[in-house]
Amino acid sequence: MRFSLLRSRLGYKLSDKLANPDEKEYLELAIFSSILGAGIGLAISAFILLFHIVSSIPRLLMQWPPVYVLLPVIGIPTAYGIVHSFSKDRRTGCGTHKVLEAYHVKSGFINISDAVSRSIASSITIGLGGSAGLEGPSLLLGGGLASWVTDKLGMKPHIIRRLMLAGSAAGLSAVFKAPLTAILFALEIPYKRDIEKDLFIPALCSSIPAYLIASSILGWEYIIEFKQQVVYPITPWSLAISIMVGLASGLIAVIFIEVFTRIGSITRRISNDQRDAVLPLLGGLILSIIWLVTPEAMGIGYDVVGRALSGAFTSISYTSLIILAKIIATSITLNFGGSGGLFIPSIVVGALLGNVLYLAIPRGLCDSYLLSVSGMAALMAASNKTLLASIAFVAETCGPRSIIPATISASISYMVSGMRSLYGDIQPPRKVAEEERALEELYHIVAENVPARLSNVKVEEVMTKNPIYLTEDITVEEALRFTKNFNFRVYPVVDKESRLIGYVRIEDLISISEYKRGLNLSSVSLRVPTIATPDERFIDVVERMCEKDIDHIYVVSSLDDAKLVGVISGIDAIRAILSLMGV
């Protein structure tokens, strides 16, 4: 009965293209994303107002230099204590890491206490002098609210996952007042060399309301104040300068990534007891010393970007020192117990690098504005692996005349920096798994001239019989214990009559809240399986796998009784094709 209902809901036949359900789902996502975006706009406004309150403390204490300089010694331990007291995941650091981990590993689930406590911790970290950006907590708060709401409404895991990232886009749109940047960032940030194109509509529909509401409350001014200089026309010389900025930015981005990664690696080797007692206080002391030497390296850095755009820094050596100090201060802040983001620090470093290059080039050949804008886009693209978002950011915040030089510089730095990223392994290279890509390429090789032997092969000759499965009457907790005995990521779920009713991934089970793990799998939103019958042509099944970018097809005895009899995975299909071709 359950499988019949599933099939009728799907309109399911093996040759069907599920166009209408996709369109309906997009419409539902668009409407719900808009509602979420409005709520997230209000939440981000509250977060920014809290940050403004905290950041007013240093201004009040400027007349007492000893207390003023030691504010990071108060801020970092306080932020660390808040996360450890109120967050379920006690790791501090960059909020974007948490969003990416939720997207790739936890089916979009973010505990609401993690999102709120780390946002408060970020406002204290940055407000009291720590070097980080507001975009990290904004992404986390927006994504966390979306995840919490969708989980409470009992939505399917793949919907929660998409709306979580759309909520993150709304958070970024509200804090930057740059909705196009937020949309493109949400599409690009999950992967180093790919884009999550299916997220465009939800991200668009959530970002616009968030931007409108936050701007109505906080004001419509850009986050970076600048006075645009006269930009020289595009000439061979200006193109050459843009290329130079791209190369230099790629190098500095690699240094930034290496410093951040190595400092993080060092702190992870420290025992938990020492980390709790010493690390935040030591981090605060180091930041206080940096604040004494190069105060421009501390805090959020919007004013530093504005000064760099206008060419206010006049010393190559001191500006270079600020760049180094900013990289170290950001790495210390986010690895020694503080919370925040990495987006804005990369923008600050890029703007300063442009100012250094401006000072190094003979006057009259270029202007500081052009170089700093190009440096901003290039550093962001290289260190975050968000090429389109970096160009959109400078276009939205610094004006459209910056687009061409920024595009050239960002593209070069993006390629020069290779696969390095501030987000490490939690940001995989591409969306499609390697075996899916290999299967697709192999299929295209044989598709135009299918060998007779391969053409006549049936599914039953290739499938893995009697596959490992889960039953709908076991609890989520029991399913998790069962899967520890195997190395599979995907498991079919059957009813008492061994009929296929769906499938789950390990990350789906892990992402389910602990208080729901006593529920049976029959109460969990299962993924819709793609099925085949034993007498189908194997080559037709491979074509379907390539069209849908899936790595498993489940074989049922017939469309009527739907009893699970086998499975074909992507690697099984590759091996079968190679064997049948005599390779």
Helix (H, G, I), strand (E, B) or coil at 62: coil
pTM as predicted: 0.76
Q: Quote the radius of gyration of the chain (alpha carbons, Å).
A: 26
Same domain, 61 and 131: yes
Domain termination site, one of 379, 411, 426:
426
Structural domain ending residue among the three candidates 392, 426, 460: 426
Give yes or no: residues 392 and 453 share one domain.
no
Is the Cβ–Cβ distance between 531 and 508 less than 8 Å?
no
Q: Would you give per-residue pLDDT tens digits along the chain (583 residues)?
A: 333 333 343 333 333 333 344 566 678 788 999 999 999 999 999 999 999 999 999 888 877 777 778 899 999 999 999 999 999 888 899 999 999 988 887 778 899 999 999 999 999 999 999 999 999 999 999 999 999 999 888 887 778 888 999 999 999 999 989 999 999 999 999 999 888 888 899 999 999 999 999 999 999 887 776 555 455 566 778 789 999 999 999 999 999 999 999 999 888 878 666 777 789 999 999 999 999 999 999 999 999 998 998 889 999 999 999 999 999 999 999 999 999 999 999 999 999 999 999 999 887 677 788 899 999 999 999 999 999 999 999 888 877 777 888 999 999 999 999 989 999 878 877 765 555 555 555 565 555 555 666 778 899 988 988 899 999 999 999 998 888 878 788 899 999 889 999 999 887 887 777 777 888 988 887 888 989 999 998 888 888 887 777 778 999 998 888 899 999 987 778 777 777 766 5
Q: How many structural domains does the chain have?
A: 2
- Residue 372 tokens, joined: 């700093």
For residue 11, being part of any structural domain is answered with: no
d(CA 528, CA 501): 8
- 372 and 518 inside one domain: no
- Same domain, yes or no, for 41 and 90? yes
Contact status, residue 141 vs residue 168, Cβ threshold 8 Å = no
Amino acid in position 157? P
Backbone angles phi, psi at 340, to 5 degrees: 165, -150
Q: Which of 426, 441, 471 is where one domain is finished?
A: 426
How many angstroms separate the CA atoms of 383 and 69, rounded? 30
The residue count for the chain: 583
Tell whether 1 is covered by a domain: no
469 and 489 co-located in one domain: yes
Asked if 326 and 375 sit in the same domain, the reply is: yes
User: Whole-angstrom Cα distance, residue 421 to residue 432?
Assistant: 19
Same domain? 288 vs 367: yes
Residues 260 and 341 in one domain: yes
Same domain for 415 and 541? Answer: no
Do 404 and 454 belong to one domain?
no
251 and 141 assigned to the same domain: yes
What is the residue whose two structure tokens read 């009291």?
Answer: 128
Give which of 337, 237, 219, 241 is closest to 287, Cα–Cα.
Answer: 337
Asked if 214 contacts 170 with a C-beta cutoff of 8 angstroms, the reply is no
Q: How far apart are CA 534 and CA 308, in angstroms?
A: 67
Task: Examine residue 46 and state whether it is found in any structural domain, yes or no.
Answer: yes
144 and 222 belong to one structural domain: yes
